[in-house]
A and B are shown apart, each in its own frame.
Chain A
Amino acid sequence: MHKHLLPLADSLVDAISHRTLLLVQHAAHALGVEYNTLLVLMTAALLGGLSGVIGCFAVLRRRALVGDALAHAALPGLCLAFLVAGVRSVPVMLLGALASGVLGILVIVALRRWTRIKEDAAIGIVLSVFFGAGIVLSSWIQNSTVTGNKAGLDSYILGKTSGIQAIDLVVVAVASLICIAIVAAAFKEFRLVTFDAPFARAQGWPTALVDLTLLGMIAVVVVIGLPTVGVVLMAALLIIPGAAARFWTERLSVMTLLSAAIGLTVGIVGAAASAKIDRLPTGPIIVLVGTAVFLISATMAPRRGAISRWLQGRRFARRIAVRRLIGELYEAGPDTNRDAWRAGERRAAWSEARRRGYVESSPHGNQLTDSGRAAALAALRDERLWQTVLVEYPELAVGAADPFHAVAADVLPKSVVDELVARLQAAGRWPEELRTLVSPGGSR
C-alpha cells in the first residue's frame, strides 16, 4: 500500500470513530445507560437486523451453508492481516477476512466446476482446511509475536462483546445502509431469482449478477459479524432469523421485515445476556436465543408451525370421518360397516357429527337429522363428481385442487359440472334425494 495512504485512511477512520464515540456517549447519557452497554447493544442489534435481511434470501436461495464456509474461511485472512498490519486495526483485519472468505468461496466453485468433488465435500474441505490454517496462524501469532496476546484473535472464534469499539458500530452501520439500500432497490430482482431462477434467466434478468450480489452481501455480513459472533457460529445468525421468519408468512416482503426484526431482537437479547454474564462468549448466547426463537416459530406459528399442522391434520381426519359416517348412514342405515372402522374412530366421528347437528339420538335409535341428510347427500354427490372428473378430465383435477379439500362444484367450471351431472343422471349414477326414509329400525 502507498505509504501516505495508510496513515491518511487511519486518521480518517479515527476521526469517524471518534465522532461515533461522542454520539453514542451523548445518547447513553441521555438514556441513562452505560456507554459500553449501549454501544454493544446497538452493534449487535444492527448486525442481527442486517443478517436477518440478507439471511432471508440466503435461506430461500439455499446459500445457508455457503455462509458457514465463508465464516470459517475468513479466519486465516484475519490472522494474516494482523501479521501484515502488525496492530489490531479493525478495517484492515476485516478486509483480510473478506479476502480469504471470498477466496474460499472461489475454491468451492472451482472444485465443483473442474473436479469430481461434489458441492457438499467442497464446502466441508474449504471450511475445515481454511479454519485449520487460521488456527495455525493464530497459534503462531500467540507464540511468536510480542503483541500476540493483545491481538484478541481468540475473541474472533466465538465472539466477544467486550472487544467492540466505536469503529465496529460504524462498520456495521455503513454496511447495513449499503446492503439494505441494495435489497430495497433490487427487491423485485431478488424475489424473482430467489423463487424461480431458471424462469428469471429465461426472461433475460441478470441472474448471475443478482446471485453474485447476494453472495457479496453474505460475505460482507459474515465478515463484519465475526468480531461479535465469532467464526464458528456466524452462519447461524445468518440462517436462523430467515428460517424462523419463514414459518410465519408466505409473503417475501413480510418475511424480510420479520426476519430483520427477529435478527434485531436476537442480537439485542443475546448481547445483553452475554454482557451480563461476563465469561460467556457472545456467539453461542446469540445463537441459543436464536434457536429458541426458531423452535417457538417451528412449533407455534399459525398454518406452518408444528402444532398448527397437527391440528390441521386432526381436523381434516375428523372431517373425513364425519363425511364417511353420514355417507354410510345415508346410504345403508345405522349399523352397516361397523367392522370397517378402526377402534374408537367411529365413536369420535359420532360425537363430532352430533356436535355439528348431523345425527341425533331419538327414541328409535341413532339417526341422521334433516341437515345431516342434506350434508350426506351433498357429500356423496361431491364424491361422485370428483370420481368422474378424475376419470374423465384428469387434467382439470390436477390443477384445480385436491378432492379432499375442495368442493368440486366450487372449483370446476360450471359447464363441466353441468355436463357431468347430466351424464351421471342419464346413467342412473347420480345420488338422488331419498324419497322414503329408511325406518330407524328397518335395516336390522
Chain B
Amino acid sequence: MNAPLDKPMPPLPARRDVRGDVALFAVVASLLAVGVALVVRLGSPQLSWWTVALAATCSSSCGLVGCYLVLRKMSLLGDAISHAVLPGIALAFFFTGQITGLPILLGAMALGVLTTLLTQTLRDYGNVPEDTGMGVVYTGLFAAGVIMVQLGARQVDLDPGCVLYGLLDFAALDTTSVFGVEVPRSMLTLGVALALTVAFIAAFWKELKITSFDAGLATAMGYRAMLVHYLLMAVVAGVTVASFEAVGSILVVAMLIVPGATAHLLTDRLGWMLVWSVVVSVLSALYGFAISSWLNVSVAGMMAVVAGAQFALAVFLAPRHGLLVKWVSSVRLAMRIVGEDIVARLYRSEEVAAAGAGGSSMAVTSTAAAVPSPASREHRATVWGRLRRAWAAWGLVNSGLARRTADGELQLTAAGRQTGRSIVRAHRLWESYLERHFELPLDHVHEPAERMEHFLGPELQTQLAEQLAEPVQDPHGRSIPPS
C-alpha cells in the first residue's frame, strides 16, 4: 500500500475553473484599450504609432524566444548573450558603417553561439562552474565591446548611449520608402527578426517543446538536443541584435525574460504561454511609450519597468499560480479544517453524553482521557485562533450544520451530526488502518488521523472499511460510527 502520509494530501484538482481565465482576458483587453487610448492622446500620432510598433515588434520577438529561455532555465544565458553580442555589433559596424543589416545579424549570431561554446568549454575543460564561466565570458566580451564602441565613436557615428539604452525615438525618425510608404528603417530589420522568430518556432515546434521540457527524453528519442540548443542560442542572438537599436543591449534582457516569466505564471500550456508573452510585450510597448512620453524619460527603461509591473501583477493575481489565489485557497482549507474540527468535537461530546446516559462509565473515562481535551487546547489558543474559531462557528451556523442554543452554545443540527459522524468515522478508520498496516504504537495514531480525517471522503472511507473488514472499533476501543 501507500507509504504513510505524514503530510495532508492535497485536495484533488477541482474541475478546471475558467473564471480566472475569463477575468484575465477581460483585464488584458481593457488594458490594451486603455493603452491604445493613452497613446492616441499623447504625442503626434504618426510618429507615436511607428515608435510603438517598433517597440512592440522588438519586444514580441524577444518575448517569444524568451519563453523557451525561461522554460529551459537558461534565462541568464539570454542575459549573457545580449551583453556578448556588443563586440559583434561594433565590429560589423566598423566594417559596414551600418547598424542594421545582414552582416551585423550574422556577426551577432556567431558571437551568441560563441558565448555558449566558451562557457561550455570553460565548464568541460577548465572545471569552471557554469555561472562563473558565464560571468567571465560575457563581461569580458561586453567590456571589449564597450571599448570598441568608445574608441570607434570618434570616427563613426555610433553613440555609446544608443548601444546601451537604445534610441527608440530616433529609430522611428530614420525612415525609408517601401512601396511608396515611409517606413522606419529599423522596422524592416525588426519585422524580419519577428518573422524569422515565428518561422523558427513554427518549424521546430515539436523539437523545441520536447527538448525544453525533457532534454533527456528528447535525446533518447533521437532528437538532437544540442543542435536545437545552439539554434535557439543563434536565434536569441539574432533577436537581441535586431532589438538593440530600439531598446539597447542591456534592457533587451528585460524584453527577453520578463514576458516569458509573466506568461509562465499565467498558464500551463506552451501555446498560451507564447500568446501571453506577446500580449505582455505589446502592453509593455504601449504603456512604456505612453508613460515615458508623458514624464519625458527613457522609453526603453520605462518598457522594462512596465514589463516588471505586469510581472508583479501576475505574481499576485495570476488565476492559478498567483499568490492571492494560493492564499485564498489555503485560508479556505484552514477554515474548513477548523469548522470540521468543531463539528467533530461536538459529535464526540454528544457521543460521550450518550455513553454516559447508557451507563458504561469505563468507556466514558477512557474516551475522555484519550481524546485531547478541547478545553485545554482552547485555553492555549491565541487571539487569532479564537477569532478563526468564531468565524468557523459562524460559518457552520450559516450553512446549517450547527445552531445556537438559547444560552449561546453550539449544537449540531441533523445535517451537522451526519457530517460529524463522517469525520469521526474517517478518523477512527484511519487510526485502525495505521495500527493494522504500519504497526504504529497506540499513542502515535491519533495525530496523523487528526490530519487525514479532513481528506478522506466517503469513497475512501468505504475502501478503507472494506480493507479492514468492516471494523466496529478503533484501536482505542471506541466504536466506529456507521457511514
Contact = CB atoms under 8 A, between A and B. Distances in A.
B150 A128 contact: no
B194 interface: no
Given A59-B132, A118-B70, A242-B132, 15 more contacts: A64-B129, A115-B265, A117-B261, A120-B76, A125-B75, A129-B258, A131-B250, A132-B301, A135-B304, A232-B83, A233-B139, A236-B136, A240-B139, A284-B143, A291-B140
A223 interface: no
A136 B301 contact: yes
B250 A232 contact: yes
Contacts of A118: 70, 73, 75
B22 to A, nearest CB: 22
A247 B127 CA distance: 9
A305 to B, nearest CB: 8
A291 B136 CA distance: 7
Interface stretch (A167-175, A275-283, A350-358, A377-385): A275-283
A120 B264 CA distance: 14
Given A123-B75, A298-B122, A143 B140 contact: no
Interface string A273-296: 000000111011101101100100
Contacts of B131: 62, 64-65
A221 to B, nearest CB: 15
A134 interface: yes
Nearest to A247: B126
Contacts of A346: none
10 contacts: A120-B73, A128-B253, A129-B307, A133-B304, A135-B165, A135-B304, A143-B297, A243-B136, A284-B143, A298-B128
A127 B128 CA distance: 23
B79 interface: yes
B135 A65 contact: yes
Interface of A: 59, 62, 64-65, 68, 111, 114-118, 120-121, 123-125, 127-140, 143-144, 157-158, 232-233, 235-236, 239-240, 242-243, 246-247, 279-281, 283-285, 287-288, 290-291, 294, 298, 304, 306, 309
A128 B258 contact: yes
Main secondary structure on B side of the interface with A: helix
A309 B125 contact: yes
B146 A158 contact: yes
A281 B146 CA distance: 9
B135 A236 contact: yes
A23 to B, nearest CB: 32
A280 B79 CA distance: 24
B260 to A, nearest CB: 8
B251 A233 contact: no
B139 A287 contact: yes
Interface in B118-144: 122, 125-129, 131-136, 139-140, 142-144
B303 interface: yes
Nearest to B326: A114
A135 B301 contact: yes
Nearest to B141: A291
B135 A128 contact: no
Contact of A116 (B75, B122, B144, B321): B321
Contact of A132 (B127, B151, B303): B303
